[in-house]
Amino acid sequence: MLAGLAAFGFAPILVRFASDTSPLVLVVYRTVFAAAMLFPFWVWLRSSEQRSGKGKERLWIALSGVCLGLHFTFWISSLYYTSVASASVLVTIHPIIMILVERLWFKRSFAPSTWIGVVLAFSGSLLLGISDSQIEQDFADPLFGNFLALMAAIIFVAYLLIGQKIRKKREWIDYVFPVYFYAAAACILMAVVMGKNLLDISIIGVWAGAGLAFGPQILGHGSMNYAVKYVSPTLLSTLILVEPLLASVLAFLLFSELPPIASILAMVIILAGVGLTWRRAAK
């Protein structure tokens, strides 16, 4: 998990280095490289166990892969429009969305302090959107970028819910490789439908795609998928909050991206709200 969390923080930095590559093309290389890296291990370690319900599981795994592909597409695209800090904070707001899903869909009750955390995080998101829309740094469309990052967080919730259900019945490689395969297939399809030339990528873009595949995807998402069988999803969601902090520091050091005071305040409010929500939810 330590290696995975560190890898998450480098994801937006690698995307920034490949800014001359279309986000749809970059996400194709990321997902294809990840599936290719895991393929030999899947052939070697995959389970041959015969049991009922595996056909239905494959459908859920395919849906999980599509969700992961969409998550990557929205999130990587957001970095082309807004700051690393804003995109990283908003994409990790999924614990709040999970709370709302559990309350509205599964009818689970939460303490009043949990809802204070939800309101804090939502208020911080609004403040972040307002402050970023007035930003003077050279970002294409911060408000639209923030929207894409938020959509990535919503889709990630669906991906996590499916993963929690299927991972209990399958070994790590038997879940992760098929999910990455379907994610790659979904991303290729989206890029082709949007008319993107998959060969229109620089050498830096190829290396960035390989780095995103090995680091944030295999080490980052892979460690989460491994740990969710043994560690509480609540704890995992809280630990992911390390990502925006590390990414923001790296973006400042490498690209001199310094968010305005209002944006920094909004980020602190969001992180405090998420932390309060999940600390209370865990109790």
Tell me the whole-structure pTM to 2 decimals.
0.81
Phi and psi at residue 245, in whole multiples of 5°?
A: -65, -50
Residue 242 and residue 89: Cα distance in Å, rounded? 10
* pLDDT tens digit at each of 283 positions of the chain: 778 878 888 888 898 888 889 999 999 999 999 999 999 999 998 877 665 567 788 899 999 999 999 999 999 999 888 877 778 778 877 777 777 777 777 777 777 777 787 778 777 777 766 665 555 556 667 788 889 999 998 998 888 888 878 877 788 898 899 999 999 999 999 999 999 999 989 999 999 999 999 999 999 888 888 887 776 555 566 667 667 767 777 777 777 777 778 777 877 887 787 777 665 554 4
Report domain extents, the chain. 2-44+51-110+138-249
Residue 24 and residue 22: Cα distance in Å, rounded? 5
Q: Is residue 92 within 8 Å of 241, Cβ to Cβ?
A: yes
